Amino acid sequence: MSEKKTILVLSDHPLAPSGVGTQTKYFIETLLLTGRYKFICLGGAVKHPNYDMQVITDPRWDEKDWVVQPVDGYGNPEMIRRVMMDNKIDLLWFMTDPRFYPWLWQIENEIRANLPMVYYHVWDNHPPPKFNEKWYRSTDVIASISKVTHEIVSKVAPEVENHYVPHAVASDIFKELEPEHVEHFTNENFPEHDGRMVFFWTNRNARRKQSGTLIHWFNKFAEKVGPENVCLIMHTDPKDPNGQDLEQIIRDFNLDDGRIVLSRNKMPAEALSLMYNMADCTINISDAEGFGLATLESLSCGTPIIVNMTGGLQEQVTDGENWFGIGLEPTSKALIGSQLVPYIYEDRINEDDFVGALETFYNMPPEERKKMGSLGKQHVRDNYNFSLFKQNWIELIDDVVERLGSWETRSGYQSWELMEVK
């Protein structure tokens, strides 16, 4: 067997509970199982108890084939240089928003002279952000996580190699479970349920996720149909420094009568699957969402969704013919940004539409809700399964490694300086 190729990963820590972290983990595990690759990860975007190198072991791959170096932020140029040279890296794979590490493209010539860069692009929104062109063009290959992102990259930088590689869901975990098992879990952990219709929200408590707004709007709905009839369970950190103090909001507005319940404890995936099964409907009204792994997990459990029709959420709630919940069209765009990033569009729905969607779902015949969930589950099985995910990534990485090479075999790259001379 030939020597294993080494891939350097720049992303959220692969064991972090974020969608980016989870997808990074899926990618690494998929390629490790081929026996042809090993990984060094710069695990960022979380607080670390220490910065010791972590070895992720598993009987399915060789010891030390997967190591994680915890870093602040996402690392820095010096760290990339050191790891690249000391370990003779064959490929750099990176994920999440390029705005988090603009320094990477300051040393793009150094990196790409020796090895290819593959960018797993998580999200963008219409209209196409022209300021991203320099990042797209400075990358060998882009893998787009949603059809929206794939379309945007193709418009902004049509000359860049661009592949559609969607999310995958662990359907062996996120699946319909026995009602008795779900009922026992519900009664033990959420006695507030008490026969109410359950709406479920699981997300980071961050501004664009609309956690505080959701509480306000859901309460409007609860007052209409009777607070004793509905319950919103929010699985999040209620005091995230990037969000609002949800506990204080609930106390100040006297909403702690069971209509809104906070789930504070971190849970393994198996318990999260039970929560999706417990819910009648999952909600995601984020202003901007690259894809939204939680909504796919919900559908995989047969639970329908209410979503903002933005980013990748658009391809989850419907296949163009059938609907797996209720999709709400944005009624306005917020234009935000910074000196580095001139603009980012955030799609926003309004209160009346959302409260109306909750009422529609509440009054919907049970058999119609069940049909939505069943169709959604099949949609996930057909389009976001691990077999397809594994096949896509193995083919893409194998092709990049063979075709573009690294170090002595590097091909297909001309530095910006040479291009400018021409």
Residue 184 belongs to some domain of the structure: yes
Alpha-helical regions (H) of 106-146: 108-112, 133-137
| Encoded tokens for 401 | 């490694």
**pLDDT value at position 260?**
92
> What CATH number does residue 232 fall under?
3.40.50.2000
Classify residue 21 as exposed, middle or buried by CB count within 10 Å of its CB (0-12, 13-18, 19+). Answer: buried
**Number of domains forming the structure of the chain:** 2
Query: What is the Cα–Cα distance from 162 to 59, expressed in whole angstroms?
Result: 34
Same domain for 298 and 335, yes or no, is yes
405: confidence class by pLDDT, cuts 50, 70, 90: very high
Secondary structure of residue 230 in the 3-state scheme: strand
H-run or E-run covering 44 = strand 37-44
**pLDDT value at position 315?**
84
Residue 174 belongs to some domain of the structure: no
Query: What is the Cα–Cα distance from 93 to 404, expressed in whole angstroms?
Result: 14
- What is the total residue count of the chain? 422
Same domain for 397 and 378, yes or no, is no
**Which residue type occupies 358?**
L
Same domain for 138 and 260, yes or no, is no
Closest CA to 118 of 419, 393, 415: 393
Residue 421 belongs to some domain of the structure: no
**pLDDT value at position 20?**
82
Same domain for 12 and 141, yes or no, is yes
Same domain for 400 and 333, yes or no, is no
Domain boundaries, position 282: 179-383
Same domain for 315 and 394, yes or no, is no
**pLDDT value at position 46?**
65
Residue 313 belongs to some domain of the structure: yes
Instruction: Give the CA distances from residue 294 to residues 50, 171, 344, in Å, rounded to whole numbers and listed in that order.
Output: 29, 13, 23
194-207 per-position pLDDT tens digit = 789 999 999 888 88
Asked whether the predicted pLDDT for residue 48 surpasses 70, the reply is: no
300-329 per-position pLDDT tens digit = 999 999 999 987 788 889 988 999 999 999
Residue 173 belongs to some domain of the structure: no
Same domain for 233 and 349, yes or no, is yes
93: confidence class by pLDDT, cuts 50, 70, 90: very high
What does the angle CA 370 – CA 376 – CA 380 come to, to the nearest 5 degrees?
145
Asked whether the predicted pLDDT for residue 217 surpasses 90, the reply is: yes
Query: What is the Cα–Cα distance from 242 to 248, expressed in whole angstroms?
Result: 15
Same domain for 279 and 243, yes or no, is yes
Same domain for 187 and 219, yes or no, is yes
357-397 per-position pLDDT tens digit = 999 999 999 999 999 999 999 999 999 988 899 999 999 99
Q: What is the pTM of this model?
A: 0.84
Same domain for 217 and 326, yes or no, is yes
Dihedrals φ, ψ of 286, to 5°? -55, 140
CB atoms within 10 A of CB 204: 17
**pLDDT value at position 2?**
66
Residue 262 belongs to some domain of the structure: yes
Residue 47 belongs to some domain of the structure: yes
Say if strands 332-336 and 344-348 run parallel, antiparallel, or are unpaired.
antiparallel
Same domain for 96 and 146, yes or no, is yes
**pLDDT value at position 419?**
47
Residue 422 belongs to some domain of the structure: no
Of residues 335 and 296, the one with the higher pLDDT is: 296
Question: Of the given ranges (95-109, 221-235, 254-268), which has the lowest mean pLDDT?
Answer: 95-109
306 close to 361: Cβ distance less than 8 angstroms: yes
Asked whether the predicted pLDDT for residue 242 surpasses 90, the reply is: no
Q: Which residues partner with 6 through β-bridges?
A: 38
Same domain for 163 and 144, yes or no, is yes
| Encoded tokens for 383 | 């389009």
Average pLDDT over residues 163-191: 90
Dihedrals φ, ψ of 17, to 5°? -80, 0
151 close to 124: Cβ distance less than 8 angstroms: no
